[in-house]
């Protein structure tokens, strides 16, 4: 693999202010010399080299380090970032989304019309999309089937509530779909994007493969699943008849390398062209990789939050003072700086820092161990209490958190289980204490997902089974409010109430990093921690 004699650290910035000061894609823009021409440094990854300007290497077979084993590719049950990133490249939604701002873009719908009252969406579909494996042309009937399947309780999709505003969906003809809502939904175009419930499936393929469909996905995306060797490799092959034109990459092979040090070695030795999940490296490893000539590191900063889930049946956490004491006992800034300063930033809100809807005026709960002890005493726990954190393996961060909590009398024990058990218990709400990383580009996905009773475990992501009538009413009002300023004010009110009640406080806003050879171009880690591989190519320059 060819190595170039320079390198650059590229970062997706995490606030609207910083984004406005950067290049068009929200990342570091190339410098210019005094004559006004671009410098001799390689162009910033996310300036997205246009097809006519690309100089392709002969070999367009990309090898990517994957950090964990995927769990199946049915959009109705998709979860885990590593799996969702691959699904992003197999499927399409009616809409796509901007990787930095999250705003909706055309997808399988090339355009749409919205009625004045915000209730009726008419989607005009592309007429040249085809299904993988000769399943035929994509039509409006596929959209109707896909969304009715999500809405069917028998499907058991945890994303059913995401499409809950749909009253009726009708195929007006083969390439026109009309969706009528039961109330306006200001973010509806993000509900039907290329993520989870928004991804369109083929009915015949679902029926053909039955229970084996998650391992045999059929989409309309730029790549199809060519092979999958469990706990080893997964290969995506280029979809030659992709409706936007075939990708430059012929194939993408995901090599499972779970150990971070082994991933670093594979990247530096040229055994892989790119490595996902590099935010799991230690600070020393990350610095070593990012300073290596010929290596790029692209990071989406603060793309989502790592939220605490307080068990609804664990008595101490029923008291707001105890929840506040728990947060006050943790010096998140010190913990992050000690473990991996590049992997996250201190943050407490449900919404991540990059979202325009995020209320940054809310004061975080400060680190105050003495105050935490006082609150515990007032709540009837002067000697503290013991709580079990469900986890697949205690991380260095968790061990430090254990030490901080012990200083105020809270004994943190680790309830260590296998991954399938962890996923099942967290989803069902069977825990004293848990956590969730929940990427989203739609603020409603996070706020309603965590706070609305329609999403209470085991149905949705509300693992703490939070149910506050005032918040529920505000969530419904915000979803239907079409005036942006008024909607943002409602979101701010929701965030303040939940912050006061100390529900789903975050321990951090998480980063996601990819590292790659500089010959790998047009890589951009998006706000769902995924990478759209369609524009990616291997450069001969």
**Using a CB cutoff of 8 Å and minimum separation of 24, what contacts does 314-318 make?**
314/387, 314/431, 314/432, 314/433, 316/379, 316/381, 316/385, 316/387, 317/387, 317/432, 317/433
Spell out the domains of the chain, with CATH numbers in brackets: 8-30+42-70+228-297+515-538 (3.40.190.10), 81-212 (3.90.76.10), 302-510 (3.10.105.10)
C-alpha distances (whole Å) from 186 to each of 442, 483, 489 are 10, 9, 14
Give pLDDT, residue 341.
82
pLDDT in tens, 408-449: 999 999 999 998 899 899 999 999 999 999 899 999 999 999
SS (H, E, C) 185-241: CCCHHHHCECCHHHECCCHHHHHHHHHHHHHCCCCCCCEEEEEEECCCEEEEEECCC
Give the single-character DSSP code of 399: H
Give pLDDT, residue 46.
61
Give pLDDT, residue 285.
85
Instruction: Retrieve residue 476's tokens.
Output: 């419904």
Residues in the chain predicted with pLDDT less than 70, given as ranges, are: 1-46
Q: What's the whole-model pTM score?
A: 0.84
What are the strands, taking DSSP E only, across 277-338? 295-310
In contact, 220 and 132? CB cutoff 8 Å:
yes
Closest CA to 431 of 320, 312, 516: 312
Task: Give the three-state DSSP class for 112.
Answer: strand
Sequence-distant (6+) residues with CB within 8 A of 187 are 442, 443, 444, 479
Sequence-distant (6+) residues with CB within 8 A of 426 are 309, 390, 434, 436, 463
Specify the DSSP element, H or E, that contains 262.
Answer: helix 260-268
Specify the DSSP element, H or E, that contains 435.
Answer: strand 433-437
How many whole angstroms separate alpha carbon 295 and alpha carbon 514? Answer: 10
Strand pairing report for 344-345 and 410-416:
unpaired
């Amino acid at each position: 693999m060819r190595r170039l004699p320079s390198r650059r650290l590229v970062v997706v910035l995490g606030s609207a202010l910083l984004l406005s000061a950067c290049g068009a894609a929200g990342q570091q823009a190339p410098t210019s010399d005094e004559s006004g021409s671009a410098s001799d440094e390689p162009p910033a990854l996310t300036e997205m080299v246009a097809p006519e300007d690309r100089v392709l290497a002969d070999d367009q077979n990309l090898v990517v380090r994957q950090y964990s084993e995927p769990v199946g590719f049915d959009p109705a049950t998709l979860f885990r970032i590593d799996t969702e990133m691959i699904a992003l490249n197999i499927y399409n939604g009616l809409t796509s989304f901007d990787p930095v701002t999250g705003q909706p873009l055309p997808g399988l719908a090339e355009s749409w019309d919205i009625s004045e009252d915000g209730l009726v969406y008419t989607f005009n579909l592309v007429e040249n999309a085809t299904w993988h494996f000769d399943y035929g042309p994509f039509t409006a009937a596929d959209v109707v089937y896909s969304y009715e399947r999500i809405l069917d309780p028998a499907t058991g999709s945890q994303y059913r509530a995401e499409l809950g505003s749909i009253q009726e969906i009708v195929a007006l003809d083969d390439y026109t779909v009309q969706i009528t809502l039961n109330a306006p939904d200001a973010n509806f175009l993000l509900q039907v994007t290329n993520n989870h419930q928004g991804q369109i499936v083929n009915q015949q393929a679902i029926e053909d493969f039955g229970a084996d469909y998650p391992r045999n996905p059929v989409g309309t995306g730029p790549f199809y699943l060519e092979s999958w060797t469990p706990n080893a490799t997964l290969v995506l092959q280029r979809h030659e008849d992709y409706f936007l034109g075939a990708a430059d990459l012929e194939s993408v092979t995901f090599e499972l390398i779970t150990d971070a040090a082994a991933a670093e070695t594979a990247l530096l030795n040229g055994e892989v062209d790119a490595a996902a999940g590099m935010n799991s490296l230690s600070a020393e490893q990350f610095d070593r990789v990012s300073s290596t000539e010929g290596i790029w590191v692209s990071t989406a900063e603060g793309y989502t939050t790592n939220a605490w889930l307080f068990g609804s049946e664990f008595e101490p956490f029923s008291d707001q003072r105890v929840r506040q004491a728990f947060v006050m006992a943790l010096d998140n800034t010190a913990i992050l700086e000690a473990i991996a300063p590049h992997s996250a930033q201190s943050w407490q809100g449900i919404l991540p820092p990059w979202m325009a809807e995020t209320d940054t005026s809310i004061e975080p709960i400060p680190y105050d161990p003495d105050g935490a002890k006082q609150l515990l005493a007032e709540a009837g726990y002067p000697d503290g209490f013991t709580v079990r954190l469900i986890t697949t393996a205690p991380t260095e961060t968790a061990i430090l958190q254990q030490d901080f909590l012990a200083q105020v009398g809270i004994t943190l024990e680790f309830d260590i289980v296998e991954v399938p058990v962890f996923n099942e218990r967290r989803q069902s709400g069977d825990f004293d204490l848990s956590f969730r990383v929940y990427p989203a580009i739609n603020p409603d996905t996070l706020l309603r997902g965590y706070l609305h009773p329609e999403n209470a475990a085991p149905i949705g992501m509300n693992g703490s089974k939070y149910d506050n009538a005032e918040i529920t009413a505000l969530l419904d009002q915000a979803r239907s409010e079409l005036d942006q300023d008024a909607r943002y004010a409602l979101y701010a009110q929701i965030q303040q109430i939940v912050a006061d009640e100390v529900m789903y406080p975050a321990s951090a806003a998480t980063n996601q990093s990819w590292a790659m050879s500089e010959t790998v171009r047009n890589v951009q880690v998006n706000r769902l921690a995924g990478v759209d591989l369609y524009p990616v190519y291997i450069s001969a320059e």
